[in-house]
Amino acid sequence: MSWLKRIFDNRHRRARAAEGAGQWRRAASIWAEAGEPERAAEALIHLAERGGDLEARLEAWHDALRWLPEDEEERREEIERRMGMAVLEDARLRGATSAEEKRRLFEAAGRLERFDRPTEAAEAFALLGRKEDQARCLELAGEVEQLEALLSETNEEDERESQLRRFLADYESALRFGARLEARQALHEASRIAPDERSVSELLRRLETRMPPPYRVRLSVRGKQVSFVGRLPAVVGRGDEVEVRVRGTSVSRRHAEVALHEGALVIRDLDSRNGTLVQGVPVSGAIELAGPTEVGLGDDVTLDVRPEGGALIIDVRSGFDRGAQVIVGQGALRLPDLAASLAFEAGWPVLTADEGAPLLLDGQTCALPVHLLIEDRLEVAGLELEVLE
């Protein structure tokens, strides 16, 4: 358009008036209508550079690129660099957490790399955790020290990843074959090298939730509940904290205690509310249990107690837990008619099958002793067991 037409063209006056009033987008629209795309692009660039909301600035730059002629290569490249830098500066301040923010930062990193800002591109890729792209840009920028530090960090991370995979494989193998102490230790090691890995902490939490209480475990054998207690002395009562829990209206929370005294198993009352009876006679001190003995806890719970091989077998004859059986002792404890023994390792129950007796855990043959977990289903020489809560 000639200079004379410009003087008398009303659109030019209106466009300049809009620019003077700071109405840059309106000015760009009028310039475009007047056939002045470059001036429309300049108005939009002014709008973007005035700051404010990032989305609005990016939109203005995009529209400027739409109006700017293709042969204005240097000007177009400068706009692309400014867009990349604006997104990077925003990510420096606020991070990039949402999918949209990450997509936008990735595009910005690509712009900065394409248009000769490799150092800033490397920073953008670092914020995205894209170490290979970051390393490439650092190499382009000639940032040798940063590149070496990144490669060293990457090697350390690769080693941690390798160790993490190895510990998780050890955990899965140990869990499958019943070596739960080793499984737990593998998870602790995995958690040590990857403390922020939520999947590892969740596996450890699930495993430890299934661990029976220390020195206690309750099994279901042929529909009968059998509890094992792996230490002496052991308190008998209705409280949740006692070793041998027997419920009844006349039973105190801590009613009596069974202990090993000079090689003999003895029982004594713990100042219970309703007293402890041995063969129907109230006791005030420690009484040796030399053979099968009837023990009363108050007047509504009766226990049949018999020493066997250094352990004490307690059958609940009356009360809320009628029919239950408890085996108390130290070392290896045996369940009648079961071709296996049970001991406690650091408080954890371990089931060991007798020589020649096949042991299966969840259908999987186990050649080694099994550290029991709640909800385990086992089979010893054809006899099915379940670990109860």
Separation of alpha carbons 315 and 140, rounded Å:
80
Separation of alpha carbons 177 and 188, rounded Å:
18
Cβ-proximal residues to 83 (8 Å cutoff; 6+ apart), any chain: 58, 61, 62, 108, 111
pLDDT value at position 150? 87
Name the residue among 74, 34, 37, 43 with its Cα closest to residue 61.
43
For the chain, what is the mean pLDDT? 91
pLDDT value at position 9? 63
Residue 5 has pLDDT above 70, yes or no: no
Provide the b/e sequence for 354-381 (b: ≥16 CB within 10 Å): eeeeebbbeeeebeebbbbbeebebbbe
Q: Is 93 exposed, middle or buried (0-12, 13-18, 19+ CB in 10 A)?
A: exposed
Separation of alpha carbons 155 and 146, rounded Å:
14
Q: Which fold has domain 216-388?
A: Tumour Suppressor Smad4 (2.60.200)
Q: Taken in order 96, 102, 106, 108, is the CA torsion positive or negative?
A: negative
pLDDT bin (cut points 50, 70, 90) of residue 6 is low
User: What does the pLDDT average to over 88-109?
Assistant: 94
pLDDT bin (cut points 50, 70, 90) of residue 253 is very high
Provide the b/e sequence for 117-144 (b: ≥16 CB within 10 Å): bbebbbbbbbbbebeebbbbbbeebebe
Domain parsing of the chain, residue ranges: 148-209, 216-388
Residue 116 has pLDDT above 90, yes or no: yes
pLDDT value at position 362? 86
Evaluate whether 267 touches 278 at the Cβ level (below 8 Å). Answer: yes
How far is residue 227 from each of residues 141, 219, 325, measured CA to CA in Å? 70, 6, 6
> Range with the lowest mean pLDDT among 59-68, 70-79, 330-339?
330-339
pTM attached to this predicted model: 0.62
Q: Taken in order 116, 121, 123, 124, is the CA torsion positive or negative?
A: positive
Residue 87 has pLDDT above 60, yes or no: yes
Residue 7 has pLDDT above 70, yes or no: no
- How big is the CA angle at 354 (ends 353 and 360), to the nearest 5 degrees? 30
Q: In this predicted model, what pLDDT tens digit does every residue of 360-384 receive, in sequence order?
A: 998 888 888 999 999 999 999 989 9
Separation of alpha carbons 342 and 354, rounded Å:
11
User: What does the pLDDT average to over 270-296?
Assistant: 91
User: What does the pLDDT average to over 187-211?
Assistant: 93
Q: In this predicted model, what pLDDT tens digit does every residue of 228-245 receive, in sequence order?
A: 999 999 999 999 899 999
Evaluate whether 28 touches 63 at the Cβ level (below 8 Å). Answer: yes
Share of the chain above pLDDT 70, in %: 98
pLDDT value at position 4? 46
Separation of alpha carbons 144 and 138, rounded Å:
7
Residue 40 has pLDDT above 80, yes or no: yes
CA-based max dimension of the chain: 128
Separation of alpha carbons 284 and 298, rounded Å:
14
